[in-house]
Amino acid sequence: MIGGGLGAFIGDAHRRASRICNDYELLGGVFDVDYEKSKEFARQEGIDLNRCYASIDDLIIGELALPEEDRIQAVSIVTPNFLHYSFAKKLIENRFHVICEKPMTTSVEEAETLRDILDDCKVSFCLTHTYTGYPMVRQMKELISEGVLGDIQRVDAQYYQGWINSIIHERDSRITGVWRLEPEYVGISSCMGDIGVHAFNLIEYTTGMEIKSLLADLNNVTKTNKLDLDGTVLLRFKDNIRGVIRSSQVAAGEENNLRIAVYGSKASLKWAQEDPNYLYLLSDDGPTKIYKPANTYNSKLAEESHVMPAGHPEGIYEALANIYKGMAKSIRGEDYDEGEFPNVFDGVRGMKFIETVVQSNADGNVWKEI
Query: What pLDDT, on a 0 to 100 scale, did the predictor assign at position 127?
Result: 98
Same domain flag for 292 and 168: yes
Q: Could you report how far apart the first and last alpha carbons of the chain are, in Å? A: 33
Domain total of the chain: 2
Tell me, yes or no, whether 269 lies in a domain. Answer: yes
Neighbours of 154 (CB within 10 A): 15
Query: What pLDDT, on a 0 to 100 scale, did the predictor assign at position 365?
Result: 98
Tell me, yes or no, whether 330 lies in a domain. Answer: no
User: Any idea what the Cα angle at residue 132 is, between residues 269 and 100, rounded to 5°?
Assistant: 160
User: Any idea what the Cα angle at residue 307 is, between residues 303 and 308, rounded to 5°?
Assistant: 100
Contacts of 288 (CB under 8 A, 6+ apart): 280, 281, 282
Query: What pLDDT, on a 0 to 100 scale, did the predictor assign at position 175?
Result: 46
What are the average pLDDT values for consecutive 10-residue runs of the chain, which has 370 residues? 94 96 96 97 96 98 97 97 97 98 96 95 96 98 98 98 88 57 92 97 98 98 93 96 98 97 98 97 96 95 90 91 97 95 98 98 98
Between helices 84-93 and 56-64, what is the axis angle to 10°? 10
User: Any idea what the Cα angle at residue 177 is, between residues 1 and 232, rounded to 5°?
Assistant: 110
We report the CATH number of the domain holding residue 217 as 3.30.360.10
CA 10 – CA 5 distance, rounded (Å): 9
Tell me, yes or no, whether 124 lies in a domain. Answer: yes
Q: What's the pTM value of the predicted model, to 2 decimals?
A: 0.94
Query: What pLDDT, on a 0 to 100 scale, did the predictor assign at position 311?
Result: 87
Tell me, yes or no, whether 319 lies in a domain. Answer: no
Buried b (16+ CB within 10 A) or exposed e, 56-77: beebbebbeeeeeeeebbbbbb
Same domain flag for 34 and 113: yes
Query: What pLDDT, on a 0 to 100 scale, did the predictor assign at position 174?
Result: 45
We report the CATH number of the domain holding residue 107 as 3.40.50.720
Query: What pLDDT, on a 0 to 100 scale, did the predictor assign at position 167?
Result: 87
Tell me, yes or no, whether 317 lies in a domain. Answer: no
SS3 content of the chain, % helix, strand, coil (to 5): 40, 20, 40
